[in-house]
Structures are given as structure tokens and as C-alpha cells.
Amino acid sequence: DVHVKNIAIRDYDDTLFTTVKSLTPSVYKRVGDVFRNRFRGGYAGWAHSLLFVAELPSFRSVLPSDIVQEMEEWKIQESEKKKKQLT
């Protein structure tokens, strides 16, 4: 899922997509490993769900403003990277 991939890159491991551009089975496993290693004790699925919901616009109002700002800044940076890649 693209949202979970973005969460993993933004918040936990920005090296996940340095060499590939799509969510291959090996990258999918790496993203899962990031969550399993970060949220031990069986909490990876719970964290995945919670972080995914936090990405949805309808839940932004309940997040701290500094977190929302970080998320927006990251989106802008990613958008700029994509534009540079196209030129």
C-alpha cells in the first residue's frame, strides 16, 4: 500500500526506495520488517492501522499541528523530487 510505504520511508527508514520505484515483494517485506522491528510484541499491525488512519484527511484535525506540518512538508519534498526526476 502506497500510504504505508510513505509512512515507513518518512518516519522510519528513508533508504527503502533509493534503488527501486515500485512495491516489489522484497520491498513489501522490507516495509513489513520496518514495522515489525519498530513495533515489537505483536503491535506492528495495530501501528500500521493507526498510522494509516492518521494519513487520512478526515483525521488530520485530531493530530498535533506539528505532526500535520511535518507530514505536509514531507509531501512537498516528495512532490519536488518527483518533478526533478521527470525533467
Phi and psi dihedrals of 22, rounded to 5? -130, 170
Return d(Cα 56, Cα 76) in angstroms, integer.
Answer: 17
Q: What DSSP designation does 14 have?
A: T
CB proximity list for 63: less than 8 A, separation 6 or greater: 54
Amino acid at site 36: R
Report the length, in residues, of the chain: 87
Per-residue pLDDT tens, the chain, 87 aa: give them: 777 878 888 888 888 776 667 778 888 888 889 889 999 878 999 998 988 888 888 988 898 999 889 889 988 988 888 888 777
With 0-12 CB in 10 A as exposed, 13-18 as middle and 19+ as buried, what is 21?
exposed
